[in-house]
Structure 1
Amino acid sequence: MKRRTVLGMAGATTLATLAQGMPAQGMPAQGMPAAFPGDLKGKIFRPGDPGYAAEVATFNRVRTPNPGVVVAATNARDVRAAVRYAAQRHAPVAVLATGHQPSVPIGRDAVLVSTRAMRGVTVDVKRRVARAEAGALWQQVVDKAAPAGLAPLGGSTGAIGVVGYTLGGGLSPALGRRYGYAADHVRGIDVVTADGRLRTVTASSDPELFFGLRGGKSNFGLVTAIEFDLFPVSTFYGGSIMFAGADAATLLHTYRRWVKSVPDAMSSSVALMHFPDADGFPPPLRGKAVAGLRIAYLGDAAKGAALVRPLREVAKPIIDGVSERPYAAFGAIHADPEGPVTAYERTGLLRELPAGAVDALVEMAGPDAPFPVTMVEIRHLGGALSRSPAAPSAVSQRDAAFTLFMVGMGGPELARPIRAAEDAIIRRLRPWSTGGMNLNFMSVDDADPDAVRHAYPPEVYRRLRTLKRRVDPANLFRLNHNIPPA
């Protein structure tokens, strides 16, 4: 006999009870019940409930969600219930897995779907395909694929969520130039759309929605699972080499010439960094300005070493951590922070990196910068990242040669000077900018509609707005880097 699940643990309550306490924003959508009958496997939280703060906690703490309702979903059925509940009350829906990329404020009028409990990952070795649920992390996929000599197009750390990263394009620092964007290799997507339906979307079932989901992030529905290709990679030659900040100009000038001749199997970046004098950082780097070279070469280690030699010899390194590694150690390339941070981020794309751009970058972000931003990275694109996939997608800006990405870390008292410094760097490098942006690198300061337009060419943006009008005309999924319906 069916019954409504009573979720009394950890302050959780039912959607029926919530319906009595959350003011409706308008009349219920046609055909929608006032509250949802049936079982809900996940927990529901309201502000003040025990467990609420933990469920809305984000990796980047620059903006903490404050929704009126949190649905801690455990399966697609829970997600459907949450979307239907929001739709009947004309409430916006947001989704949270890891919270690496905050955007607009999520307030009391919102329903937040937390997918952290949806961690299922399966690997089909014969087909070289993985399937990941909405809350799965890249490290889970790597750990399951590595024993078979396979690897995914994951991010810079295993702690990043698979789905959000892939829907935003997915730029792998290890495999990107060789294989392209993660979104280029998606086979199917399970998504709950604004009408509460669970759809399996492929290139043949709904080409237009498949196009928009891959590159449009959470604008067109709430994804519950994704299926994607794996690649025959078991090892790589890579890691990072740290040079003194005084060597930044020499390194970058050598680097800008070097990237013109490297094969697609070589992915790389250079980051100008300012390390605080604090515990948790390697003693040789503490309190210092450094220039970090990050390398990932897919091929023979001796060939990789020969390719890297011109960069390795620009100066005496502080730390040389480039070597042959199992792919499971891909996190050593960027060595991203493991715990939560407060990070103010900005991004851009460069069409080229000539001598003038390098000089400007060192002036604004090097050891003598007027206000030191924690990290400014230039990442090499091109290769397979510049080529269109077999199934067209909304992932754009494929003509860019480099990403520009900045992170300034600090408390609220540093927000204003960090943002001013990042704005100054954006302006200084504008002569070499494409004018575009990579959606996965956009932040709270790139969330207004005009900024989001810069992630797409005009014709792609118009196409996405038309798709939005078809699948989400009320813009239920708007608490993101939003694409409004046409």
Structure 2
Amino acid sequence: MTIAQTSTRDAIPFAELDALTIGTVAVPGDRKYDALVSPWNVAIPVRPAAVLAAHDAQDVVEAVRFAARHGIRVTPQATGHGPMAELTTELLVTTKELDEVEIHPEGWARVGAGVKWLRVVEAAAPHGLAPLSGSITDVGIVGYTTGGGLGPMARSYGLASDKVRAIEVVTGDGVLRRATPTEHPELFFALRGGKGMLGIVTAIEFDLVHQPRFYGGSLWFDGSDAPAVIDAWRAWSAELPEAGTTSFALFQLPEMEGVPPMLAGRLTLSIRFVWTGSAAEGERWFAAIRAAAPVILDDVAEKPYTAIDSVHTDPLDPTPAYEAGDVLTDFPQEAVDALLALTGPGVASPQILVEVRQLGGAFARPGEHPSAFASRAAAYSLLTVGIAEVPGVEEHAQAILDALEPWVGGHRLPNFTFTPEEYVDAYDEVTLARLRRAVRAYDPDRVMTIGGVLG
């Protein structure tokens, strides 16, 4: 940043922040600005008055204190997978450079706030260990975990936030704290499930699980067979032990590089499956799905945990996405019919993906230490993803949510909230009260933008 330069937004002296920090400070017009603020979802305009690429935890401390002095709000961003334009208007602090990774062979890890799951997956694998990573390992650890962390082994091992041992965070009052079950327990409670309401996480420590291999992947059917396969999936998954985690997704993938030709330009149905027990037992359990209809692509097999991305097949490249979702209390035949009427065979749906995940199992049980995650009663999650520029995609996504409304209930998943207003819907009244008390204690001036959503 040019030292004499200040933002045109209220003439905030960002040169002062530049002088106080080691990392890069940039404002609109600076050469590095666009690269620093660019999110994964390129449909969301992230244009803060300034961005700081923090070099270390002390940079984060200086940024939060600077914001408090000048009456502005701060938003953290690690990898840019979950931005909200409404929350990124003033000072954005990106923690991508906080990239330490330590694997302890006895079964836990310490990582910096800028680390993505892939590095931990690869570093833990030689020890036969695995983290409770997300549906794609390109996602950042901190945002995912502070939102609960619903991954492809959730029914077997629960949420990523349940495995957290400690979180180091610069709270809204500008103090670097270490939160554990015994140190700042209310902060530890609020950070696990409360997203970035209270501060900017700089490092996190969590337990790993012994899972060198798994049986699973994705099995693909033609979209015309979706009614029969989903019917079989519902009956089969109702009996599935906790060793199995599953979901299905209706895809309409374009003809492009990286998309297998047999899946491109048509409606397809993917059944996703992860079995944490023996491969032989997993294969026996999955036989009913293989027999549900003719298979067009079978990628379900015994694999090392480093192949976990093969389950959900999420895209790696930045995408202009429009996302919507909710949680369901049930998914009866009437709900299937309502969903397929808008997304099934013969329907011109603008959605690239419509996903239903089965929850329950270890997901539904509280972790060893209480947390702010309040969605454990949900039986299924629903997610739609479309290309933002496609006409009618938002209205169609809303029509899907409206059609499934009779089965919507409980508190939405924090990581599947896409507007600031939706955050409040992720928590029950008791949890909201605890979060608000924590905000008053650790961010009395409401420096953190997400914390300001609570009122």
Q: TM-score, normalised by structure 2?
A: 0.96
Is contact 2:23–2:53 with CA below 8 Å preserved after alignment?
A: yes
CA gap 1:114/1:313 in 2 versus in 1, 3 angstroms: same
Counterpart pick for 1:442 among 412, 417, 420: 417
Which residue pairs with 1:433 in the alignment? 408
Is 2:83 the counterpart of 1:102? yes
Counterpart pick for 2:199 among 221, 238, 244: 221
Distance in 1 between residues matched to 2:300 and 2:88, nearest whole Å:
45
Indicate the RMSD between aligned Cα atoms, in angstroms: 2.0
Superposed, which structure 2 residues align to 1:5-404 within 5 Å? Answer: 12-13=1-2, 17=4, 23=10, 35=16, 40-106=21-87, 110-126=90-106, 128-173=107-152, 175-404=153-382
CA shift, 1:157, in A, is 1.1
Distance in 2 between residues matched to 1:343 and 1:62, nearest whole Å:
6
Is 2:451 the counterpart of 1:484? no
Deviates more, 1:365-374 or 1:376-385: 365-374
CA gap 1:205/1:24 in 2 versus in 1, 3 angstroms: farther
CA shift, 1:187, in A, is 0.6
Percent of aligned pairs with the same amino acid: 40
- Encode CA deviations 1:107-146: one digit per residue, 9 max, x unaligned: 65x11111111111111112x1101111000001111101
Deviates more, 1:387-396 or 1:363-372: 363-372
Secondary structure of the residue that 2:221 maps to in structure 1?
A: strand
Counterpart pick for 2:394 among 390, 413, 419: 419
Is contact 1:24–1:90 with CA below 8 Å preserved after alignment?
A: no
Deviates more, 1:36-45 or 1:49-58: 36-45
- Encode CA deviations 1:199-245: one digit per residue, 9 max, x unaligned: 00111111111111101111100000000000100000011011000
CA shift, 1:465, in A, is 1.6
CA shift, 1:473, in A, is 2.6
Distance in 2 between residues matched to 1:179 and 1:482, nearest whole Å:
33
Is contact 1:134–1:163 with CA below 8 Å preserved after alignment?
A: yes
Q: Which amino acid aligns with 1:285?
A: L
Distance in 2 between residues matched to 1:34 and 1:338, nearest whole Å:
35
Is 2:412 the counterpart of 1:455? no
Is contact 2:353–2:385 with CA below 8 Å preserved after alignment?
A: yes
Is contact 2:229–2:292 with CA below 8 Å preserved after alignment?
A: yes
Distance in 2 between residues matched to 1:13 and 1:129, nearest whole Å:
42
Is contact 2:75–2:88 with CA below 8 Å preserved after alignment?
A: no
Q: Which amino acid aligns with 2:10?
A: P
Is contact 1:452–1:482 with CA below 8 Å preserved after alignment?
A: no
Distance in 1 between residues matched to 2:319 and 2:18, nearest whole Å:
40
Is 2:444 the counterpart of 1:465? no
Deviates more, 1:339-348 or 1:95-104: 95-104
CA gap 1:268/1:401 in 2 versus in 1, 3 angstroms: same
Distance in 2 between residues matched to 1:208 and 1:78, nearest whole Å:
25
CA shift, 1:362, in A, is 1.3
CA gap 1:285/1:87 in 2 versus in 1, 3 angstroms: same
Q: Which amino acid aligns with 1:188?
A: A
Secondary structure of the residue that 2:195 maps to in structure 1?
A: helix
Q: Which amino acid aligns with 2:97?
A: A
Distance in 2 between residues matched to 1:104 and 1:120, nearest whole Å:
28
Is contact 1:348–1:435 with CA below 8 Å preserved after alignment?
A: no
CA gap 1:107/1:187 in 2 versus in 1, 3 angstroms: closer
Secondary structure of the residue that 2:255 maps to in structure 1?
A: coil
Distance in 1 between residues matched to 2:442 and 2:204, nearest whole Å:
19
Is contact 2:46–2:85 with CA below 8 Å preserved after alignment?
A: no
Q: TM-score, normalised by structure 1?
A: 0.90
Is contact 2:43–2:388 with CA below 8 Å preserved after alignment?
A: no
Question: Number of residue pairs matched?
Answer: 455
Is contact 1:397–1:436 with CA below 8 Å preserved after alignment?
A: yes
Secondary structure of the residue that 1:252 maps to in structure 2?
A: helix
CA shift, 1:399, in A, is 0.9
Distance in 1 between residues matched to 2:451 and 2:440, nearest whole Å:
16
Distance in 1 between residues matched to 2:400 and 2:451, nearest whole Å:
22
Secondary structure of the residue that 1:241 maps to in structure 2?
A: strand
Which residue pairs with 1:4 in the alignment? none
CA gap 1:289/1:36 in 2 versus in 1, 3 angstroms: closer
- Encode CA deviations 1:292-320: one digit per residue, 9 max, x unaligned: 00111011111111101111111111100
Is contact 1:95–1:114 with CA below 8 Å preserved after alignment?
A: yes
Distance in 1 between residues matched to 2:241 and 2:142, nearest whole Å:
29
Structure 1: segments with no counterpart, 5+ residues: 1-11
Distance in 2 between residues matched to 1:94 and 1:384, nearest whole Å:
32
Is contact 1:56–1:64 with CA below 8 Å preserved after alignment?
A: no
CA gap 1:321/1:195 in 2 versus in 1, 3 angstroms: same
Distance in 2 between residues matched to 1:161 and 1:341, nearest whole Å:
16
Which residue pairs with 2:446 in the alignment? 475
CA shift, 1:380, in A, is 0.9
- Encode CA deviations 1:399-423: one digit per residue, 9 max, x unaligned: 1111101101242xx2x51110010
Is contact 2:356–2:383 with CA below 8 Å preserved after alignment?
A: yes
CA shift, 1:61, in A, is 1.0
CA shift, 1:19, in A, is 6.3
Q: Which amino acid aligns with 2:402?
A: R
CA gap 1:331/1:195 in 2 versus in 1, 3 angstroms: same
Is contact 1:241–1:322 with CA below 8 Å preserved after alignment?
A: yes
Distance in 2 between residues matched to 1:13 and 1:145, nearest whole Å:
42
Deviates more, 1:316-325 or 1:451-460: 451-460
CA shift, 1:367, in A, is 2.4
Distance in 1 between residues matched to 2:212 and 2:5, nearest whole Å:
49
Distance in 2 between residues matched to 1:297 and 1:435, nearest whole Å:
27
Secondary structure of the residue that 2:204 maps to in structure 1?
A: strand
